[in-house]
Amino acid sequence: MNADKIMIKTIGYHDMFSASAGGLENLTVLETNGMTLAIEAPAHITATLPNIKDLRSKSDLTKVDALIVTHVDADHVAGLDSLIWHKVFGEKNKLQIITHEEIHKQLWQRIRAAFEISRIDLRSKMRFEDYVEPVNLELGKRTAIEQLGIEIETFERSTRHAPFLSIAFRVLKNGHPVLAYSGDTSFDPELIKFLAKNGKHPIIHETGSYSIGTGSHTHIEELLTLPEEVQKRLFINHVPKTLEQYIRNRIKEANSSIRIADELK
């Protein structure tokens, strides 16, 4: 999809339990200013993105110029190690990671064992900032990402997903929202109000719950209770592969305009 000269494309839309059934975990990219912003870093990121021929990027090797991470669950960051190695050794460049300061610290804790000792000089200790260019987001505020010509506006609190921080956000171009992204969350009308406000932009929302009312994910039946003007803007991801046909059937039976995230092109 093109919105205010931004191309939005979803490559994977399944949850972490779907890989064995042929699914690809959540991965959406935005192309703007001739560069690509990846949303999340699933395990397949360095295998899938370089093969997308029409994706413009300053990186021929990874096709990733910047990365935004919503939280540190494995299906969102399992590809981070490989992505950093590709950037540092393959491109001689740092990876720009956009997220909350607390999540930056959590990311370093995840990869520290493999990255803290220099591979060039085993006597030297490395820091997170030696590998990445961290851009800190603050809850409830907008942050300019100058090289991409966009702003990231985060929801005012952590999403209802886990005991650790998880962010939801909107992407703005020239002051206008062009995409909203829920991250992982249980059904949260306040969050959806934030995602949908001030525009007709698409909303990528998760539907990873296997049953209604769970504490960490949203069920399709809950999204089907939303007003039609919101449903027609919804593109769902974090879809369990084993429930995908059921979800597609329920959308059809409800005569809803909700779509799967890979239809957002």
Is the pLDDT at 21 greater than 80, yes or no? no
The mean per-residue pLDDT over the stretch 148-157 comes to 98
Q: pLDDT digits over 69-105, tens only?
A: 999 999 999 999 999 999 999 999 999 999 999 999 9
The mean per-residue pLDDT over the stretch 150-175 comes to 97
Contact 241, 14 (CB under 8 A): yes
* CA dist., res. 145 & res. 132, Å (int): 15
Cβ-in-10-Å burial (0-12, 13-18, 19+) of 177 comes to buried
Place 4 in a pLDDT band, splitting at 50, 70 and 90.
very low
pTM recorded for the entire structure: 0.95
Is the pLDDT at 265 greater than 80, yes or no? no
Q: What is the pLDDT of residue 166?
A: 98
Beta strand 203-206 with 234-237 is: parallel
Q: What is the pLDDT of residue 173?
A: 95
3-state secondary structure 206-237: ECCCCCCCCCCCCCHHHHCCCCHHHHCCEEEE
Question: What are the tokens at 91?
Answer: 């491109």
Domains and CATH numbers, the chain: 2-263 (3.60.15.10)
Q: pLDDT digits over 177-233, tens only?
A: 999 999 999 999 999 999 999 989 999 999 999 999 888 999 999 999 999 999 999
Q: What average pLDDT is seen over the chain?
A: 94
* CA dist., res. 135 & res. 20, Å (int): 34
* CA dist., res. 145 & res. 224, Å (int): 34
Q: pLDDT digits over 94-151, tens only?
A: 999 999 999 999 999 999 999 999 988 888 999 999 999 999 999 999 999 999 999 9
* CA dist., res. 171 & res. 259, Å (int): 20
